[in-house]
Chains A and B, each alone.
Chain A
Amino acid sequence: MNWFIDAQIMEKTSYVSYKSNLRVGWYKKFHISKWRSQLYSHYFGSKKVRETWRKLLLLWIAGSFLGSLGIFWFMNSQAMEKRREMLSSMCDERARMLQDQFNVSMNHLQALAILISTFHHAKEPSAIDQITFSRYAEMTAFERPLTSGVAYAVKVLHSEREQFEKKQGWKIKKMYSTEQSPSWKEDADPDNQEISPIKYEYAAVIFAQDAYKHVISFDLLTGKEDCENVLRARKSGRGVLTAPFELLKSKRLGVIMTYAVYKTELPSNATPYERIRAAIGYLGGIFDIEALVDKLLHQLASKHSIMVNVYDTTDPDAPISMYGPNLTGTGIYHISTLHFGDPIRKHEMHCRFKQKSPLPWLAITTSIGTLVIALLVGYIFHATVNRIVKVEDDYRQMMELKRRAEAADVAKSQFLATVSHEIRTPMNGVLGMLQMLMDTDLNITQEDYVRTAQDSGKALVSLINEVLDQAKIESGKLELEAVPFDLRAVLDDVLSLFYVKAQEKGLELAVYVSDQVPEVIVGDPGRIRQIITNLIGNSIKFTERGHIYLTAHLIEEMNSLHVVADAHSTDTLSGFPVADRRSIWKSFKILNQESSAPESFHLSSSSGLVNLIISVEDTGVGIPLEAQSRVFTPFMQVGPSISRIHGTGIGLSISKCLVGLMKGEIGFVSEPQIGSTFTFTVVLRSAHTNANEHKSLEFRGMTGLVVDHIPIRAKVTKYHLHRLGIHTTMETDPNQVLTRLTSRTLRTDMVLVEHDTWLKSITMWSSIISKLKGDHLDTPKFLLLARPTNSIKSTLPGPMEYISTIITKPLRASMLQVSLRRAMGCGDRENPRHEGLPNLSLLSLLHDKKILVVDDNIVNLRVAAGALKKYGAEVTCADRGKKAISMLKPPHKFDACFMDIQMPEMDGFEATRKIREMEADINNQLKSGEVSFESYQDGLNLHIPILAMTADVIQATYEECLKCGMDGYVSKPFEAEQLYREVARFLDTASKKNQ
């Protein structure tokens, strides 16, 4: 069976190697890094691969069938071979034994022949007669088990016949002739036998065993076969055999063996003729073959019972069966040749198994077992392939589903964006109608309803805007602006939004921007405002006491701030403890980067990037710990109890997205009942402008003293004063104030005292002020910084008469400026309490100002004029540059000029250049005294502020404007805030010059 196993293994290994080749092929084709694409192409190729696998599987099954058949055939043939060998050995054994026994009998016959030759022929008279012979033969019959009878015939020549007959007392008789079997018939009646015819010689039987007594006196030579036997026997000198014939008595087959007795001892090489001459008698024995074989087989009886046939095959064409059934069944048989000493006669023994060979169970089970195993292996393989194909299909399906889900997500965002946009337009209608309704004659209840409806409508619009933002961010449509802006102004504006709410709740609201932050930076102020508004809005909702503190720093400063924060953890704006914001910083990548590699920051600052870190600190209820993880998830409210006041919950999510768009991070730390601090970073670019130019100069050179027992609050105040150009020192101990003020080393223009601090030592303040008055010193103005409470003035104790003004917090530069202007007496005639609304400020700034507007486009001219008139300015129009030049030739009455840049004939730049040349000319004349001042009533007005009006606001144009002597620019559809900023800048300076 080994060969088969080998073959199977070979088959298997070749199959495996084929598979591995296939796999190696794949790996070569698809690099591991392109795993995905491999999977895809794997899938697309999988149909083909599946086909190949199916073929392989069929091949495998067919192979295993063939293999098991092979096993069966091989094992079966092995068994057959073994059986055949067994049969042949058994057959040979039987043949040999038969031969041996036959030979033994023959030897005895020979011995009998010698006995007769010795005692019958050699003795005279004979020592043997019939009785002796028969007795002897009878008694030695056990020596010749196969011989049923023996007889002896003597050679009688015809010449001796009568004498012989006389001597014996009977006539030589003739045997039964041709057809009938010869002499050995038992029923042959000797009396009835014919007397032998006359021949040359006779072979008359003289002795015979008792059983064959009847053959005495028969002439053997008359029987055909006997005669042949006799002739052959004397010729060869050996025992010869007749063909088998049926023995009458036993109805069995038998053969006669004839042996010649010679007169003399003959040499072994005697010729046949000599032998014939020497022959004097013939001994014959009858062999009962059937008995012989039966006995033999009985001796060798075994479980492998076999069937034996013995044939006389002297004539090969017509073998004579000597023994055995006349069955010629199929199946294996074995032929053994028998040698009975007669060279002429040939005998064969045929052996067969009696039973058919048993079924080859071993072969059958082995082959079936192998087949089953092979089929199992095939099934496992098939199942594996199916599984792989299924997994691949599933994977593809999943990819498809994922793609669809993503597409659906984008579609959802787009849908939201579209729908929100569509809702806004009809909402405009709704709100417009409500506004109109407000104008009609309503009673109080109706008005209240309308106002509620209007508020709800506005809330809906803002919600829609938020949703729109969220959708825009999600669908990737939100783009950030990159315009130069002043962060401080933006933060001030945001703070002013919450002024009323802070006032209602009595919260301290403050902003602080580090000196390191550039004045003008480039980014998207609207979005930064949105983020901060959202954060402060949340803080204000959840804070009932304490403060909200907005700070902006450069990230580079954070290391030094660490130290400060460590020193006084309770040193906060309102004295309430706050959450420790440092733990947020740890999560910010940009800060961690910095600590590991500070050089990167020098790099970033040199490349014009501004890394801002802005935080909003409050002392509110804080965010519950369990809700902290989902604060930035859209529409996720903190909890049912506070969700009602929390708004939509979308704001923080939007803020996070916006911060992400600005390449920053947002995080927070919150402790319940202590407060939350939200911190975010943004990366902006610095603007390459001279920022100081924008700073108001009216307080430059003044010094101030801030008295506040809370250092951090003093710092905020200092920051705002610093922005106005006031040199400021801080004092935390009120007792030190007097010594400071009287030290005379530095003149102090103003003292700003925090309300709390004032209350702490009212009497001391009275004494300080009266001391100062008494010394007739240049008394500084005293200003009180107070939290927004409506009733400060009325309830405020102490020497109020010394207080110049009360400044309500939150502090903002513009508001502070106005308040200081009033307090310091350098203010203008306008009511300074118009802070907050730039329109009102514009009104105050532009009121009664004479302004020249130059534009070639009369429509534009009219619009610009209309806009400026709206703010109370007196507007004169000019439709070309030359006209403007002539109108601006000093002396003139104009306070400012707005000029279009692109004009035919002479553009704005050239016109400005001409005007400046003119002014310079006159200035020189004034200096040299060529022209008297009197001719110019408005003598100082020799630099008229010229502002460019332009539709495009790119940097190049701005610089161009400055280069040719313009003072600034405004974008063409006038925007109130920008207009205010620009106009305020030069009109302020102009008014200061006027003083």
Chain B
Amino acid sequence: MDLGSLQRRYIDFTSALLREGILDGQFTQLQQLQDESNPDFVLEVVTLFFEDSEKLLNELSRTLEQQVVDFKKVDAHVHQLKGSSASIGAQKVKDVCMAFRNYCEEMNQEGCLNCLRQVKDQYLLVKNKLETLFMLEQQILAAGGSIPMMW
């Protein structure tokens, strides 16, 4: 695939992510923060997000499986997840987290489990998309092009 079509695909893909609301403006802001002095900034942050989120999701699964659920703990985890997803602009994960926190306040185990499933789904979705995006970036860079900027 030549560089132009790669770049076009990259723009299409990013536009689609933004349009579908999987990512929001915060992600483009992150991209803007990346420059020559900090070339892998986005990848770094996103990888951090993946690690952190997986840890939190496991933690959440375990906590919610217990007989007596410690909702305070669950809430703390969800808050954490919400914060990090907001930071990288994973909008849908963030939205589910907000609903999740409401259920925590209500001590609704059913609702929490439901939300946990949704969060996992959304997380996997955004992870999948971001990995594809990074792959595209790598390909573009490998072809010697520059990453198109979405302003």
Interface residues in chain A, defined as those with a beta carbon under 8 Å from any beta carbon in chain B? 425-426, 428-429, 431-433, 435-436, 439, 855-860, 862-864, 866-867, 869-870, 900, 902, 904, 951, 972-974
Q: Which of B60-68, B76-84, B110-118, B130-138 makes up part of the contact surface?
A: B76-84
Taking CB atoms, residues of chain B closer than 8 Å to A855 are 83
Q: Which single member of A433, A856, A860, A870 contacts B11 (CB below 8 Å)? A: A433
Please tell me if the beta carbons of B149 and A972 are within 8 angstroms of each other in the complex: no
Name the CB-closest residue of B to A856: B80
Q: Among B8, B35, B84, find the residue whose CB has the most chain A CB atoms closer than 10 A.
A: B84
Shortest distance from the beta carbon of B69 to any chain A beta carbon, whole Å: 18
Which are the 4 A-B pairs with shortest beta-carbon distances? Answer: A859-B84, A857-B83, A863-B87, A860-B87
Nearest CB of A to B117, in Å: 22
Q: Which residues B19-40 have CB closer than 8 A to chain A?
A: 19, 25-26, 29-30, 32-35, 37-38
> How far does the alpha carbon of A867 sit from the alpha carbon of B32 in the complex, in Å?
9
Could you list 30 A-B pairs, sorted by A, with CB under 8 Å?
A: A425-B15, A425-B19, A428-B18, A428-B150, A431-B151, A432-B148, A432-B151, A433-B7, A435-B151, A436-B7, A856-B80, A857-B52, A857-B80, A858-B48, A858-B84, A859-B45, A860-B83, A860-B87, A862-B44, A862-B48, A863-B87, A866-B34, A866-B38, A867-B29, A869-B37, A869-B38, A870-B32, A972-B87, A973-B25, A973-B29
B88 within 8 A of A: yes
Given A972-B86, A973-B26: A432 touches B149 (CB 8 Å cut-off): yes
The interface size of chain B toward A, counting residues with CB under 8 Å, comes to: 36
Closest B residue to A866 using CB positions: B33
The verdict on A859 contacting B83 (CB below 8 Å), with A428-B15, A433-B11 known, is yes
B15 touches A429 (CB 8 A): yes
* Cross-chain contact B86 with A867 (CB below 8 angstroms): no
Q: Identify the interface centre among A428, A862, A972: most chain B CB within 10 Å of its CB.
A: A862
Known pairs A432-B150, A433-B8, A870-B33; A863 contacts B88 (CB<8 A): yes
Chain B contacts for A863, CB-based, 8 A: 30, 33, 45, 87-88
| A866 contact from B45, B146, B151, Cβ within 8 A | B45
A857 contacts which of B15, B84, B146 (Cβ < 8 Å)?
A: B84
Main secondary structure of the interface of B (DSSP, over half): helix
CB-defined contacts of B88 to chain A, threshold 8 Å: 859, 863
**B33 and A867 contacting across the interface, CB-CB below 8 Å:** yes
Chain B residues within 8 Å of A, Cβ to Cβ:
7-8, 11-12, 15, 18-19, 25-26, 29-30, 32-35, 37-38, 41, 44-45, 48-49, 52, 76, 79-80, 83-84, 86-88, 146, 148-151
Q: Are B12 and A859 touching (Cβ within 8 A)?
A: no
How many angstroms from the CA of A862 to the CA of B149 in the assembled complex?
Answer: 21
Residues of B within 8 A of A857 (CB): 52, 80, 83-84, 87
Q: Cβ of B86 and Cβ of A973 under 8 Å apart?
A: yes
Contact of A433 among B32, B35, B148, B151 (CB under 8 A): B148
Which residue in A859, A900, A902 is a CB contact (below 8 Å) of B48? A859
Q: What is the CA–CA distance of A858 and B44 in the complex, to the nearest angstrom?
A: 11
How far is A863 from B41 in the complex, measured between Cα atoms in Å?
9
Contact of B52 with A429 in the complex, beta carbons under 8 Å = no
Q: Give every chain B residue within 8 A of A433 (Cβ-Cβ).
A: 7-8, 11, 148
On chain B, the residues within 8 Å of A862 by CB distance are 44-45, 48, 87
Contacts of B29 in A (CB 8 A): 867, 973-974
A320 to chain B, nearest CB (A): 128
Kindly report which residue of chain A lies nearest to residue B10, judged by CB atoms.
Answer: A432
Q: Nearest chain B CB to A870's CB is how many angstroms away?
A: 5
Apart from A436-B146, A864-B87, A904-B76: 13 A-B pairs, beta carbons within 8 A: A429-B15, A432-B149, A436-B7, A436-B148, A856-B80, A859-B83, A863-B45, A863-B87, A866-B41, A870-B38, A951-B86, A972-B87, A974-B29
Instruction: Give every chain B residue within 8 A of A859 (Cβ-Cβ).
Output: 45, 48-49, 52, 83-84, 87-88
Contacts of A870 in B (CB 8 A): 32-33, 35, 38
CB distance from A172 to the nearest CB of B (A): 158
Note all chain B residues with C-beta closer than 8 A to A900.
83
| B33 adjacent to A858 (CB under 8 Å) | no
The distance in angstroms between the C-alpha atoms of A870 and B35, with both chains bound, is 8
A432 touching B11 in the complex, CB below 8 Å, given contacts A439-B146, A859-B52, A862-B45: yes
Contacts of A902 in B (CB 8 A): 79, 83
Smallest distance from the beta carbon of B63 to chain A beta carbons, Å?
14
CB distance from B10 to the nearest CB of A (A): 9
Within 8 Å CB of B83, what residues of A? 855, 857, 859-860, 900, 902, 951, 972
Nearest opposing residue in chain B for A870, CB measure: B33
How many angstroms from the CA of A422 to the CA of B87 in the assembled complex?
A: 26
Give the docked Cα–Cα distance between A855 and B18 (Å).
Answer: 27
**A902 and B77 alpha carbons, distance in the complex (Å):** 12
Cα distance A439–B76 in the bound complex, in angstroms: 46
A860/B33 contact (C-beta < 8 A), A866-B38, A866-B41 known:
no
A436 and B41 alpha carbons, distance in the complex (Å): 21
A902 to B83, CA, bound (A): 10
Chain A residues closer than 8 Å to B48, beta-carbon distance: 858-859, 862
From known contacts A863-B45, A904-B76, infer whether A429 and B38 are also in contact, taking CB-CB under 8 Å.
no
Chain A residues with Cβ under 8 A from B19's Cβ?
425
- Return chain A residues, CB-CB under 8 Å to B41: 866
Could you tell me the distance between the alpha carbons of A973 and B84 in the complex, rounded to whole angstroms?
A: 11
A855 closest partner in B (C-beta) = B83
Q: Which residues from B are CB-within-8-Å of A867?
A: 29, 33
A residues in contact with B32, CB < 8 Å: 870
Closest CB in chain A relative to B32 CB, distance in Å? 8
**In the assembled complex, which residues on chain B have CB atoms less than 8 Å from the CB atom of A904?**
76
Taking a contact as CB atoms under 8 Å apart, the answer to whether B7 and A866 are in contact is: no
Tell me the minimal C-beta distance from B118 to chain A in angstroms: 20
- Residue from A425, A439, A858, A902 having most chain B Cβ neighbours under 10 A: A858
Counting chain A CB atoms within 10 Å of each CB, the highest count among B32, B48, B76 belongs to B48
Q: Complex Cα distance A348/B117, Å?
A: 129
- Whether B12 and A429, one on each chain, are in contact in the complex, defined by CB atoms closer than 8 angstroms, is yes
Chain A residues contacting B37 (CB-CB under 8 Å) are: 869
Which chain A residue lies CB-closest to B85? A859
Residue from B34, B44, B79, B87 within 8 A of A973 (CB atoms):
B87
Considering the chains assembled together, what is the distance between the CA atoms of A393 and B48 in angstroms? 71
- In this complex, the member of A439, A862, A863, A864 whose beta carbon has the largest number of chain B beta carbons within 10 angstroms is A863
Task: List chain B residues, Cβ under 8 A from A866.
Answer: 30, 33-34, 38, 41, 45
**A426-B15 Cα distance, complex, nearest whole Å:** 8
Report the minimal beta-carbon distance from A831 to chain B, rounded to whole angstroms.
20
Provide the bound-state CA to CA distance between A830 and B44, in Å: 32
Nearest CB on B from A905, distance (A): 10
Please, which residues of chain A bring their CB within 8 A of the CB of B52? 857-859
Q: How far is the CB of B20 from chain A (nearest CB, A)?
A: 10
- Most B CB atoms within 10 A — which of A860, A973, A974? A860
Separation of A62 and B88 alpha carbons in the complex (Å): 90
Residues of B within 8 A of A439 (CB): 146
Chain B residue at minimum C-beta to C-beta distance from A430: B11
- How close is A930's CB to chain B, nearest CB, in angstroms? 41
In the complex, what residues of B have CB within 8 A of residue A951's CB? Answer: 83, 86
Q: How far is the CA of A759 from the CA of B7 in the complex (A)?
A: 57
On chain A, the residues within 8 Å of B8 by CB distance are 433
Contact check, A435 vs B45: say whether CB atoms are below 8 A apart.
no
Residues in chain B near residue A435, CB distance under 8 A: 148-149, 151
What's the nearest-Cβ distance from chain B to residue A430, in Å?
A: 9
CB distance from B138 to the nearest CB of A (A): 18
Give Cα A425 to B64, complex, Å. 40
| B11 lies within 8 A of A429 (CB) | yes
Please report the C-alpha to C-alpha distance between residue A863 and residue B49 in the assembled complex, in whole angstroms: 10
Distance of A860 from chain B, by nearest CB (Å):
5
CA distance A860 to B94 in the complex (A): 13
Please, which residue of chain A has its CB at the minimum distance from the CB of B89? A973
In chain B, what residue has the closest Cβ to A872? B37
Shortest Cβ gap from B17 to chain A (Å):
11
Chain B proximity of A47: nearest CB distance (Å): 53
CA distance A869 to B18 in the complex (A): 26
In the complex, A696→B80 CA distance in Å? 37
